[in-house]
Structure 1
């Protein structure tokens, strides 16, 4: 029996880490399981990430794939209100921006449900 695709937040498929330099944020997305990698590559695109961050007005979003690690890195330019030294924003470091990205909804096919975080992950 096949199970239908379900919309799940990205954090069920991957975890993330964020850094910043000046007015640039650097967000990594790392698959919880190798079986999720192809779906992540297909769904977590530069365009979708730019749309997820539309309120922060990135001037450019660049994705770098690291397939041997089942990870990707996004560089978002001009999303930190000028950066830590220029912004009046209390969180101008951008450390929390991975949480915004990890809320992105992803349509997960039924055969990949066993690999989602929060379930007993199969090796």
Structure 2
């Protein structure tokens, strides 16, 4: 099952930092997020996009996980020549995570 079946995500960026928040649709699915959407799995998923370890924050009162990723400065939204370097597009990739 893909993460998108039980959660939605929002993302944004500032410079080389990308923030991706994953919210369970239903409160009872939050423990599944905590168990299966780990720092290791997210690091593996975004391996080619990040330079430092992923940081995860649990936000139980919102049934959410918040991930902070760091990219190379050359890949930041203000420095990249790529068509869509915005972090918000990375939330779609997060939702493809197999859980």
TM-score of the alignment, normalized to the shorter chain, above 0.5: yes
TM-score (norm 1): 0.75
TM-score (norm 2): 0.93
Bigger-Rg structure (1/2): 1
Cα shift readout 1:53-103 (whole Å, capped 9, x = no counterpart): 112133220001100110010000116743122111111121110010100
SS of match in other structure, 2:23: strand
Cα shift readout 1:31-71 (whole Å, capped 9, x = no counterpart): 01011111110100111000011121332200011001100
- Asked if 1:50 corresponds to 2:43, the answer is yes
More helix by share: 2
Choose the corresponding residue for 2:15, options 15, 22, 38: 22
CA RMSD of aligned residues (A): 1.4
SS of match in other structure, 2:54: strand
Gaps of 5+ in 1: 1-7, 107-123
- The worse-fitting range, judged by mean Cα deviation, of 92-101 and 51-60 is 51-60
Q: C-alpha distance in 2, partners of 1:31/1:72?
A: 9
Q: C-alpha distance in 2, partners of 1:23/1:56?
A: 10
- Asked if 1:101 corresponds to 2:98, the answer is no
1:119 aligns with none
SS of match in other structure, 2:43: helix
Gaps of 5+ in 2: none
